[in-house]
Amino acid sequence: MTRVLVLNGPNLRRLGVREPEKYGTTSFDDLVALCRDAGRRLDLSVEVRQTDDEAEMVRWVHEAADEHTPIVLNPAAFTHYSYSLRDALAQRTAPLVEVHITNPAAREEFRHTSVVAGVATGTIAGFGPMSYVLALQAVAELIAEQKTP
């Protein structure tokens, strides 16, 4: 079973209470359960983490690079300005799928640019919590492709 880190940036622990008209009513605990359930179906061992601390996020990315661990990442606000996170992600050694609950391109202008997209394998956005399930499916497919000679 392949280990996958699902990393979440600032304010995502507030899911369900933070702007439910944008982010829905699914709580962070519900999101964790959704990711773990999807992981089991996909034969992935999913570990979900959240931090409001940019340095902690960078450490987690370094850990994943050192261990060749795939990442599903919702960088949240770090998406738009964190060059330290982008530089850490550029060192990745396994698939990286950027994920967003909302569609940043349909939101405020400052949300239209992702500094991490250029180093990600791909981006999935705008499907609510299902974005995470789709990202995990993509990771499972990418892993399967790597195993095929």
Contacts of 51 (CB under 8 A, 6+ apart): 7, 8, 9, 10, 57, 60
71 annotated binding-site participant: no
Amino acid at 117: A
Residue 37 is assigned to a ligand binding site: no
Among this protein's residues, is 83 annotated catalytic? no
Query: Which residues make Cβ contacts (< 8 Å) with residue 121, sequence separation at least 6?
Result: 95, 96, 97, 138, 142
Question: DSSP 3-state assignment of 114?
Answer: coil
DSSP for 48-61? EEE-S-HHHHHHHH
Residues in contact with 146: Cβ distance below 8 Å, sequence separation at least 6, in sequence order: none
Active-site residue (options: 62, 68, 100, 112): 100
Of the residues 23, 68, 83, 132, only one is catalytic, namely 23
Please tell me whether 87 is known to bind a ligand: yes
Residue type, 108: E
Annotated binding residue 112: no
68 labelled catalytic:
no
- Catalytic machinery residues: 23, 100
**Which residues are part of a known binding site for substrate?**
74, 80, 87, 101-102, 111
Binding-site residues from annotation: 74, 80, 87, 101-102, 111
